[in-house]
């Protein structure tokens, strides 16, 4: 019987925290961390098996699944929103071809389950922005979002037609202190804490009233593992669950930081690319489907998240 877990994109913002959480839960030796060009952080590299894997290369993906006795995959390798707009070829190679390679190699290699995050980027400018329902008009206008919709539809297809258990969450912007985000649209909500602690100030690239769905990393890890472990018999959806954490604007986040650091200052220098992307995404999400089908509940609100970010980042930046 197959027994191991493969995590692609293991050096990324989510991978660096998901790998240790999976190792703690299922055993260090069972979790294979697959990095690419970004070096794996010490905790991930030293904590268990690790390999280098280019998901754009189908033969590499097939070999990783075959050679490491893989039962479950967490496919996190991705080119995020702003970076995808800047490099269409690489975005297609990783976000479209890479996912196809993982799904096909999983079917051929008898993998039991593939977990692959979608994103709020799977929505678009015509989507109802407030309390966006699970089932609604999507029509994203970014390359990253288009690939996410394809991933959701493929996930549902492989699950219902090919018997591969594919599961996925539409993650909001993820906030964390261990690994900095790459080039997403919600990165300001992490960078603002570095600015506050290092310089007492931050220049934000989104307008102060831009509301976006966000989630603190511990909730993100619980959501990913919670969905992966959910009872299949209770799931009507597969690769397209809305999950909400907390929604806020740059000005609301600034106020929360200023309540703890009264001298913190913010100004704004709007980046039209990322502002345009943010304007096409929901303000807030209705996650009642995830709550009903597998018991999803977030634990961090804005104040709890800000307290935890400031406490941990001040130690990290000492
Ligand atoms: N972080 C967020 O705010 C957020 C929000 C919504 C959805 N997601 C999704 O969660 C998943 C993980 O996101 P993340 O924030 O950890 O991303 P990240 O950009 O921090 O990490 C992605 C990793 O993929 C790797 N990668 C790039 N090209 C590769 C290739 N050819 N082969 C193998 N690996 C390659 C990179 O080295 C990087 O370490 C992605 O599917 C992303 O779309 C993230």
* Structure confidence at residue 184 (pLDDT): 79
* Structure confidence at residue 276 (pLDDT): 94
| Mean pLDDT in residue range 303-316 | 97
Indicate if the alpha-carbon torsion angle 227, 232, 233, 239 is positive or negative: positive
Residue nearest atom 18 in ligand 1 by C-alpha distance: 12
- Distance (angstroms) between ligand 1 centre and the Cα of 20 equals 17
Ligand 1 mutation pick, 51, 54, 56, 80, max ligand atoms within 8 A of CB: 80
Q: What is the tens place of the pLDDT at every residue in 56-96?
A: 999 999 999 999 999 999 999 999 988 999 999 999 999 99
Q: What is the tens place of the pLDDT at every residue in 185-212?
A: 899 999 999 999 999 999 999 999 999 9
d(CA 132, CA 288): 11
Nearest atom (ligand 1) to Cα of 77: 24
CATH, domain range 173-214+245-316 = 3.90.25
pLDDT range class, residue 180, cuts 50, 70, 90:
confident
Express as a percent the part of the chain with pLDDT over 70. Answer: 99
In the residue annotation, 268 being an active-site residue is answered as no
Beta pairing, strands 70-75 & 4-8: parallel
Element (H, E) at 102: helix 99-108
Q: What is the tens place of the pLDDT at every residue in 17-36?
A: 999 999 999 999 999 999 99
- Distance (angstroms) between ligand 1 centre and the Cα of 183 equals 10
* Structure confidence at residue 99 (pLDDT): 98
Q: What is the mean pLDDT of the chain?
A: 96
Indicate whether 1 pLDDT > 80.
Answer: no
Q: What angle do CA 45, 49, 53 make, to 5 degrees?
A: 80
Q: What are the b/e assignments for 280-303, b being 16+ CB within 10 Å?
A: bbbbbbbbebbbebbebebebebe
* Structure confidence at residue 82 (pLDDT): 87
Cut 0.95: pTM above it: yes
Query: Is CATH 3.40.50.720 what the domain over 4-172+216-242 is classified as, yes or no?
Result: yes
Q: What is the tens place of the pLDDT at every residue in 243-298?
A: 999 999 999 999 999 999 999 999 999 999 999 999 999 999 999 999 999 999 99
Indicate whether 182 pLDDT > 90.
Answer: no
Domain boundaries, the chain: 4-172+216-242, 173-214+245-316
Confirm whether 4-172+216-242 and 173-214+245-316 share one CATH topology: no
Which one from 74, 144, 202, 205 is the annotated catalytic residue?
144
Whether 155 and 167 have beta carbons less than 8 Å apart is answered as yes
d(CA 242, CA 105): 27
Residue nearest atom 20 in ligand 1 by C-alpha distance: 12
Indicate whether 2 pLDDT > 90.
Answer: no
* Structure confidence at residue 181 (pLDDT): 83
Indicate whether 8 pLDDT > 80.
Answer: yes
Beta pairing, strands 50-52 & 118-119: unpaired
């Amino acid at each position: 019987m197959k027994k191991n877990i493969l995590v692609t994109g293991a050096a990324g913002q989510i991978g660096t925290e998901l790998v240790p959480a999976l190792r703690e839960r299922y055993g260090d030796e069972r979790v294979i961390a697959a990095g690419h060009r970004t070096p794996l952080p010490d905790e991930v590299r030293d904590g268990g098996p690790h390999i280098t894997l280019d998901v754009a290369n189908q033969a590499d993906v097939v070999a990783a699944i075959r050679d490491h006795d893989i039962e479950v995959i967490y496919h996190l390798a991705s080119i995020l929103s702003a970076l995808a707009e800047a490099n269409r070829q690489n975005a297609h190679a990783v976000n479209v071809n890479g996912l196809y390679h993982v799904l096909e190699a999983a079917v051929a290699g008898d993998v039991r389950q593939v977990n692959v995050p979608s994103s709020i980027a799977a929505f678009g400018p015509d989507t109802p922005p407030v309390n966006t329902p699970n089932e609604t008009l999507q029509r994203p206008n970014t390359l990253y979002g288009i690939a996410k919709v394809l991933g959701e539809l493929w996930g549902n297809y492989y699950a219902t037609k090919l018997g591969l258990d594919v599961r996925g969450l539409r993650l909001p912007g993820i906030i964390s202190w261990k690994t900095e985000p790459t080039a997403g649209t919600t990165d300001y909500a992490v960078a603002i804490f570095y600015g506050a602690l290092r310089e007492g100030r931050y220049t934000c690239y989104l307008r102060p009233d831009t509301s976006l769905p966000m989630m603190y990393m511990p909730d993100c890890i619980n959501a990913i593992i919670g969905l992966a472990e959910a009872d299949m018999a209770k799931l009507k959806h597969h690769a397209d669950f809305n999950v909400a954490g907390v929604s806020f604007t740059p000005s609301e986040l600034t106020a929360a930081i200023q309540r703890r650091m009264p001298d913190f200052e913010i100004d704004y220098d709007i980046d039209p690319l990322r502002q345009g992307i943010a304007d096409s995404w929901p303000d807030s999400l209705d996650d009642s489907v995830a709550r009903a089908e597998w018991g999803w509940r977030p634990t961090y609100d804005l104040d709890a998240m800000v307290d935890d970010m400031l406490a941990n980042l001040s130690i990290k930046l000492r």
